[in-house]
Structure 1
Amino acid sequence: MSSRQRRLITALALAGTRSRTYFANLLWPDCSESQAAGSLRASLHAISHQQPGLLNPSSNPLSLDSSVAVDVNRVRRIIADIDGQEIDRAGAIHELRGADLLPDWYEDWVLFERERLNSQRLRALESLAEHYLAIADIGRALDAAGAAVEIEPLRESSHLLLLRCHLALGNSAAAMRLYHSLEERLLEEMSIAPSPRFTELLDGVLASRHARR
């Protein structure tokens, strides 16, 4: 299968049901309308012969056949159900941690979808971390917050959750190391300091511990 056909199948998987014009413009933006339509037509013809049953029989709009399982749709369903009562939250952390979308693709439309999915993954993982902190399951809270930091190493909200986890475990040394590591990275890469929420959280906890001593 050619790269042109793989690109079309990927676009169908990510975008869902769309018009022929949408996919032609998305995949061949630098071509004339007639050239793009011709390239789309040729790709559809090749896919239908090489992978029968992959495409929905409809000629317009276009979509994959409803029987085709798309991994990213499973991840989106997990994210949508993250606050539901029946979801396997521990399993969701594992799924969301490994759900990198086409990491070796650099086309603009893929980058857009990757960024959107990453934002959704981050919010879901932070929600899971908050849930586990609330019920004092600190191990799983650490797992969820750590997964969020892996996705976006400079995201302060995820680091705050990770800091709260360490403090909940009474591990102030790990909390301070986390803070100083983030402080160095933010200064080096963005020339900014962590928000005051970090020092407020650390100062309050450390002061109370010193007072108890």
Structure 2
Amino acid sequence: MSLQSATLRPPLVDGPQVSIRLLGAFAMNVDSAPVELPAGVQRLVALLALRGRTGRSRLAGLLWPDTEERRALASLRTGIWRVNQAAPGLVVSAHGTIELGLTPAVDVQQLIDHSRALLRGAPDDDAPADPGDGELLPDWDDAWLDAERERLHQLRLHVLEATARLLADHGRFGLALEFALAALRADELRESAHRAVIEIHLAEGNIVEARRAYDACSRTMRDELGIDPSPSLVALVRPGGHAPLHVVTAST
């Protein structure tokens, strides 16, 4: 499933149907029609879509960090008004907190839900896809996005590794290796990604390839971190120490 290209289908609710795209450039549709919003207002919608209910003062401080609180709160009120002009009821304010109403379809949340299902071992289609084919708002440099990007990055790595092991467990070694190598490209210092590559080679009976993958891991970790691979990883490539490939599922 590739959510960057998937059509967002909001559930049927009272009021306009809203979809919000955050992977790649920001986009918002209301009743299937694109809506143009000023940059500051886009950030208000994006932050609420990613973090959910947020205190009014906290929200104003995140969006306008270099502005005094009174002016930031005034900008927030203007932003809320502009959003609700485009999609009445989309931003809801009550008891000092602000959140999105109308249950919009948000591509990032769909990506997270799909990834969690995979990590729980839920069956996927016959052509699994890399969940990281869209970057979170790559042209924005807001500090509050750092944690959200890291969250998606870690989720992607876990999905890639889990998918690789599931594919290998079903004998689909070529595709499994593609997913394991994608995890390795995303973070070459991640030992679990190196482990996935080595385990797949061993499961396929390619002992020499497994040893080469281990040597590459060892060099990288020593050069970059000054440490050796863990004893459990070393045991994989020792004579007689080949561990059986096993499916690993996790929850995030």
1:26 aligns with 2:62: yes
CA distance, structure 2, for counterparts of residue 55 and residue 89 of structure 1: 36
The answer to whether residue 111 in structure 2 is matched with residue 75 in structure 1 is yes
Instruction: Give the Å deviation of 1:78.
Output: 0.8
Q: Which has the higher contact order (CA 8 A, sep 6+)?
A: 2
For 2:169, the equivalent position in structure 1 comes to 134
Which residue pairs with 1:13 in the alignment?
A: 49
TM-score (structure 1 length as normaliser):
0.79
**Residue 232 of structure 2: aligned partner:** 197
- Aligned partners of 1:54 and 1:65 also within 8 Å: no
Identify unmatched segments of 5+ residues in structure 1. Answer: 208-213
- When you count strand as a share of all residues, which structure comes out higher? 2
Could you tell me the TM-score, scaled by structure 2's length? 0.68
Question: Structure 1's 6 and 58: CA in aligned 2 closer, same or farther, altered over 3 A?
Answer: closer
Pick the aligned partner of 1:62 from 98, 101, 110: 98
Aligned to 1:94, the other structure's residue is in SS state coil
Q: Is residue 2:96 matched to residue 1:96?
A: no
In the alignment, what sits opposite 1:116?
151
What are the Cα deviations for residues 150-178 of structure 1, in whole angstroms up to 9, with x where unaligned? 32221101110111111222223332332
Distance in 2 between residues matched to 1:185 and 1:108, nearest whole Å: 30
1: distance between equivalents of 2:138 and 2:213?
Answer: 27
Over residues 8-49 of structure 1, what are the superposed CA-to-partner deviations in whole Å (9 max), with x where a residue is unaligned?
A: 222122112333233112212343321221121222233334
Q: How big is the shift at 1:138?
A: 2.1
Identify, as 1 or 2, the structure richer in helix: 1
- What is the CA-CA distance between 1:118 and the residue it aligns to? 1.7
Conserved? CA contact 2:83–2:90, under 8 Å: no
Q: CA deviation at 1:107?
A: 2.8
Structure 2, unmatched stretches of 5+, are 1-36, 243-252
Counterpart CA distance in 2 for 1:18 and 1:4 is: 17
Decide which moves more: 75-84 or 98-107.
98-107
Root-mean-square deviation (CA, aligned residues, Å) is 2.8
Q: Which deviates more, 53-62 or 5-14?
A: 53-62
Q: How many angstroms does 1:5 deviate by? A: 2.0
Structure 1 match to 2:219: 184
**Distance (whole Å) between structure 2 residues aligned to residue 8 and residue 189 of structure 1:** 39
Give the secondary structure class of the aligned counterpart of 1:100.
coil
Q: 2:160 matched to which residue of 1?
A: 125
Name the count of aligned residue pairs.
Answer: 204
Distance 1:151 1:30, change over 3 A: same
The code of the aligned residue for 2:72 comes to: A
- Aligned ranges 1:134-213 → 2 under 5 Å: 134-204=169-239
Structure 1 CA distance for aligned equivalents of residues 154 and 161 of structure 2: 11
Structure 1 position 2 matched with structure 2 position 38: yes
Structure 2: which amino acid aligns with 1:5? V
